[in-house]
Structure 1
């Protein structure tokens, strides 16, 4: 059952040593918290009223959301955290984080007036862009909250697989109660491995307000039950010390019952009422026995103070709670707070982005021991507060992250592929081969999938390397002779299987791809996902890239090529998504050798400074590998590889008489080459370009002036020589918009073929004909362009 701190508690099983600050005076911490409140409020004010704004566009910021977290964050940083702990701070509390970092000496004063300014403090905590210590980027609601789960899992994987990994402490999420509306949060909480991870601690800022409103009927018991059912320890810090003493008076039980049974909206209305009104509002028309007597024993001021005395603002109660955390399982603490606590806007239903007036700021400065004239004033040297701050700065000082030593990744492997094979099957073959062809790189690979490992051809890899899990699991099918896939779960495997939750998949992939920056140890995460579901996972994956996580996402099978599965399993927009995603290179190789070269190229950029993620779009369609026309000559073969990893290559050169250029991507190369033969018989000279990465070709075109001297930078001009203009027919199994940029390489007329409508279950041939991407459709488009 959920346990409320302050009630009779079961003994703690937390064997974690208390920090050196355990004997601190709570009053000193309260004074530090008041200064943090002032600084976080002044940071937002300085961004909005302290600098010119010629555009008139609102700068914004969240004084109230920061204020509700001040007690929680002060108690953590100045009393509880160690240098090994990592904390995710809810997006709207970023000013409070920067205020604490400033007091600790980790942020220069010049940044405090530069919130949401170019080169200044970011709107929300950002690992990549903020100048001070930020453990997790949290601008996307819900994703930052779950990131510590995946970081903890990544550290456990590192610890099990690699020697001399730096230690890690707890992984802590500070999140707003409205974030619990996000489905991704519950997908992560319920993952089977999470229930065994005692290093996880979540603290929910339960202020019962969201952006637009007071949240009606928030059912704390239901939330507590959901966490408990997932195996989490549930602690609740509801009332502060002062009001608890009032509850112990005669009639106090009636007051507690009245406050706890009223709707959220009524409680928030109390916060906005004049103290003289509170007795009548709380008593109501028919007060319970004892309620009137306990209220009569309180002055208006005492009652106004008491109803605001919530556990999330009581530093002593919070510190007591931390000591009750069970280190053997994940823990969530529900800390009741008032949004805007300590500000003139506290509890107001529209305070989310509200700003204090100049007069209100003056009063807050006075209460905080500072002034508007000296807003960034620190505590005096030698004061109790400054001694605590200085001790905390020493305690939280982290050693430098070791330099990452990337595993050597070869340019190619010495083996070939079957005569007819799909790129998805080639991925499975590649992973099996790399364990012997490049063992050092293979040791750094970790694959993961959301219950689609076998159907995305990871079976051979899993049989060789095993499945990683938090602790051993008995394999009850080990003696089953008919089993093809050996599913042995140990702390030594290299594949991680998740449930059917794509958001979890990309969240874990991002954190596995960030271990180089957290602990100086490189991993190369390769996540497989059904390509139609890339859209579902896109936003959290994109945010993971923004936060510095580098990974390879393999979407397979892709497009309408998966014809019998029907429209629900046919991806249309993913090629364009890949081209447009920052921090990522999108690939769609047509042939097995191209897959090998481009995958090795992608791996060589994962898990290091200046690295980049990759997205592969693969197919289940078997393709005749002889169509690739791989050169036998080593020099020409290497030239083909260089072009393939640059974005594409000429498969057929039509020479000076080329009348039309056919451009294909991925599985469509079979139809492109078939169309070329038809055109040749019709007397039309057609060249053929195979694009492995429209993304890189687009970048070549975009940056041609800056990088024209680079072989990669010039790939667009090499594929489409300026002195040999010809109309272009481009085709891919996806939206034709993706390749429309090719007309800008040299100003050619162009017909872009692809998929623009939902498909249906059919044969492959019928699907291609339906969307006009079969050989006949390509021929028609070419003949139209050449006037035949």
Structure 2
């Protein structure tokens, strides 16, 4: 919706909106309520400053979510100022980012200048960002539902890290603060039901149950269903529904009738009560058939007190929240459903269209007065010497974390001293490479953790798993240990280096991202390598991208790729994944054709994991056996090293002609290189001299082309000029087992005419030869394309 103001009804009087956020029962509650009110003010004023208080020549709204922040003020105050320790890690729902920054400001962690710079260049991000915000943010949460699950995978990563490195200190709790609408996301339930998550007693989720999403009010029956789903997954389920003020009414004569009336009414009716004038509440609560006992109770409650009572939900009662935290069972994950009012304490409180609504100037001035603040001086901290200031000082000291001791990831060698079979696939080479890494670079290999969604054996991780074992939360008996015919040893325990998940690619990449963040969280770098079927990369794309944005560095291996796995048909064939790899920020995409290329590129990628300024990697591999002699690997050490340098820069020449004599340039990627080389031989027989370029990374070659015009300059520009020298202009034919537009940029290298061959349609079950013919990436298609361009 457009972020316009929602007008307050007549019933939204200052006496109602200005009440404390919880029913104070002690001095501590009074202080926490006062802090919560200041947090409410700061977060609301921060959004107001980004919208009304900032010049806006473009007319594009700054945005922000005052109502969504308001419903979290009490919950987050209870945590930061009374409950959390420095070891705890918290994921904050995206729309409550102003609350997080307001708390960090009160803790002295954020300079005042940032308070007016929400959603501004160089200022505070729209949603919590672990890598881009200036203050402490434990998890980036802009992707709805994905950030909510991140603490589960961080907890699992911390457990794994402690098993591998005993010097890692014991962790705290891993907490998710999420909105009830986020529970519509499938990623949430994939995480909730994962067997490994069930054992994470350090995991705590708190659901801000304001029963409103962007467009609608959520039915109460849905809440009951959600609670049952968590319980069925063996989570502890706790509920904070009513605050202590209204519980006193429930205990009085007629109180049970009041409880039943409130709990039986639809959520829509309850929300309408919040928008009603206090004088109307008596009649609305009695309804068409008044209960005498309920009438007797309500007759004795003044309208303003009744208005305050029906708003007294558990998620705003700080004392009740603190008591609830004490009930958490540390032997299994826990979810707390905290009932709240969206927009609590604002003039837009409970309005069905308040999601992105902004307070008017009059409304925010009213809030300032109720909060003891001034709109002209909005960023005042608590007065020195006050109980609130002391509480902030104590919380800041309690939550201050020691600096992370940086333990650099071990440097990997440029290559390993062993060769590969004469014929083999890049997928098979991955398994061989990992096994060789254990003896060729044992220190680096100890940092490697592989993971897969029930496809470990079919992605060639069997040899690695046999040597390293499978990691699990706690030791498990291997009932097949005495089976002499078993090829894959599935021994599970605390020292294993492979993690197996269920068939849930979202979980896989989320865990890979958190394993790839341990270097910055706890100072111990890991090298996560996740394997999945390449057609399912699309399914995992958003959480994979989220993990990279959040600072997680990992290697994703998609295999088998393309239509090369021909008999599997269209459902298991990937077309657009090369483009995904090329376009994904923070990632280098690779598609090596030969085993030695895979080794060189993988070692290069691993050297970029677990370090400041590092990057993730995506490998697209194949099950097609390829004659390794086709690579024409130089035997001379100097020329071999040059080949390696070119391979890790993005590609190399297999066939090179004298300057000015090349009539066509064939460019291949990955598994199609045998067809490219055969086509070059046929063209030679027809009198056309064709050079052959093998790209290991179209991604890096594209960056090389882009860097030509960079004012900063880059050594990477050399590879595009080495592959396509200006003096060797010739028509180009590109071939890949993926969408052809991935390589269309090569036309801009020298301005050559170009024909891009690739896969643009869904495939079907067939032989490999037939699949290549169907999609026009067979030898005949390559020869015809080159002939058309050269006028043969």
Are 1:184 and 2:187 matched, yes or no? yes
Are 1:762 and 2:770 matched, yes or no? no
Secondary structure of 1:677 counterpart = helix
How far 1:289 sits from its partner (Å)?
4.7
Matches within 5 A, 1:547-696: 547-656=550-659, 657-696=661-700
How far 1:739 sits from its partner (Å)?
0.2
Secondary structure of 1:290 counterpart = helix
Secondary structure of 2:728 counterpart = coil
1:19 maps to what in 2?
none
- Return the match for 1:703 from 697, 702, 707: 707
Q: Which range moved further: 280-289 or 71-80? A: 280-289
How far 1:403 sits from its partner (Å)?
1.2
- Return the match for 2:406 from 403, 407, 410: 403
Counterpart CA distance in 2 for 1:241 and 1:284 is 25
8 Å CA contact retained: 2:707, 2:714: no
8 Å CA contact retained: 2:594, 2:631: yes
Are 1:785 and 2:782 matched, yes or no? no
Matches within 5 A, 1:281-296: 281-296=284-299
How far 1:708 sits from its partner (Å)?
9.4
- Residues 24, 760 of structure 1: alpha-carbon distance in 2 compared, 3 angstrom cutoff: farther
Counterpart CA distance in 1 for 2:344 and 2:180 is 16
- Return the match for 2:69 from 55, 66, 69: 66
Counterpart CA distance in 1 for 2:750 and 2:535 is 33
Query: How large is the RMSD of aligned CA atoms in angstroms?
Result: 1.1
8 Å CA contact retained: 1:708, 1:714: no
- Residues 24, 407 of structure 1: alpha-carbon distance in 2 compared, 3 angstrom cutoff: farther
8 Å CA contact retained: 1:208, 1:218: no
- Return the match for 2:330 from 327, 332, 344: 327
2:415 maps to what in 1?
412
- Return the match for 2:271 from 243, 268, 274: 268
TM-score (norm 2): 0.96
- Return the match for 2:723 from 719, 724, 734: 719
How far 1:287 sits from its partner (Å)?
2.5
Deviations 1:128-154 (A, max 9, x none): 110100000000000110000000100
2:11 maps to what in 1?
none
Are 1:145 and 2:153 matched, yes or no? no
1:255 maps to what in 2?
258
1:115 maps to what in 2?
118
Counterpart CA distance in 1 for 2:117 and 2:147 is 23
How far 1:405 sits from its partner (Å)?
1.5
Counterpart CA distance in 1 for 2:59 and 2:411 is 52
Counterpart CA distance in 2 for 1:577 and 1:193 is 30
How far 1:710 sits from its partner (Å)?
4.8
Matches within 5 A, 1:32-43: 32-43=35-46
Counterpart CA distance in 2 for 1:271 and 1:218 is 20
How far 1:770 sits from its partner (Å)?
0.3
Counterpart CA distance in 2 for 1:709 and 1:561 is 38
Q: Structure 1: 5+ residue runs without aligned partners?
A: 1-21
1:743 maps to what in 2?
747
Secondary structure of 2:667 counterpart = strand
8 Å CA contact retained: 2:676, 2:779: yes
How far 1:384 sits from its partner (Å)?
0.6
Secondary structure of 2:640 counterpart = helix
Secondary structure of 1:751 counterpart = strand
Counterpart CA distance in 2 for 1:763 and 1:724 is 37
Matches within 5 A, 1:489-500: 489-500=492-503
Secondary structure of 1:205 counterpart = strand
Q: Structure 2: 5+ residue runs without aligned partners?
A: 1-24
- Return the match for 1:734 from 729, 738, 743: 738
8 Å CA contact retained: 1:218, 1:264: no
Matches within 5 A, 1:259-408: 259-408=262-411
1:238 maps to what in 2?
241
8 Å CA contact retained: 2:180, 2:210: yes
Secondary structure of 2:512 counterpart = helix
Q: How many pairs were matched up? A: 767
Are 1:130 and 2:150 matched, yes or no? no
- Residues 681, 708 of structure 1: alpha-carbon distance in 2 compared, 3 angstrom cutoff: farther
How far 1:709 sits from its partner (Å)?
6.7
Secondary structure of 1:559 counterpart = coil
8 Å CA contact retained: 2:43, 2:66: yes
Counterpart CA distance in 2 for 1:23 and 1:597 is 65
- Residues 547, 23 of structure 1: alpha-carbon distance in 2 compared, 3 angstrom cutoff: farther
Q: Which range moved further: 708-717 or 106-115? A: 708-717
- Residues 218, 67 of structure 1: alpha-carbon distance in 2 compared, 3 angstrom cutoff: farther
Secondary structure of 2:710 counterpart = helix
Counterpart CA distance in 1 for 2:371 and 2:713 is 60
- Residues 316, 674 of structure 1: alpha-carbon distance in 2 compared, 3 angstrom cutoff: same
Counterpart CA distance in 2 for 1:290 and 1:141 is 45
- Residues 376, 710 of structure 1: alpha-carbon distance in 2 compared, 3 angstrom cutoff: closer
Are 1:487 and 2:490 matched, yes or no? yes
1:422 maps to what in 2?
425
8 Å CA contact retained: 1:243, 1:307: yes
8 Å CA contact retained: 2:471, 2:495: yes
8 Å CA contact retained: 1:24, 1:79: no
Secondary structure of 1:417 counterpart = coil
How far 1:467 sits from its partner (Å)?
0.3
How far 1:162 sits from its partner (Å)?
1.3
Secondary structure of 1:94 counterpart = helix
Counterpart CA distance in 2 for 1:709 and 1:598 is 24
Counterpart CA distance in 1 for 2:716 and 2:360 is 56
1:475 maps to what in 2?
478
Secondary structure of 1:752 counterpart = strand
- Return the match for 2:462 from 459, 464, 468: 459
8 Å CA contact retained: 2:736, 2:757: yes
Secondary structure of 1:219 counterpart = helix
Counterpart CA distance in 2 for 1:583 and 1:152 is 24
Counterpart CA distance in 2 for 1:718 and 1:710 is 14
8 Å CA contact retained: 2:449, 2:526: yes
TM-score (norm 1): 0.96
Secondary structure of 2:537 counterpart = helix
8 Å CA contact retained: 1:408, 1:440: no
Counterpart CA distance in 1 for 2:589 and 2:26 is 54
Counterpart CA distance in 1 for 2:374 and 2:382 is 13
Counterpart CA distance in 2 for 1:23 and 1:542 is 46
- Residues 120, 218 of structure 1: alpha-carbon distance in 2 compared, 3 angstrom cutoff: farther
8 Å CA contact retained: 1:254, 1:289: no
Counterpart CA distance in 1 for 2:652 and 2:166 is 42
How far 1:256 sits from its partner (Å)?
0.2
Secondary structure of 1:714 counterpart = helix
1:18 maps to what in 2?
none
Counterpart CA distance in 1 for 2:179 and 2:479 is 42
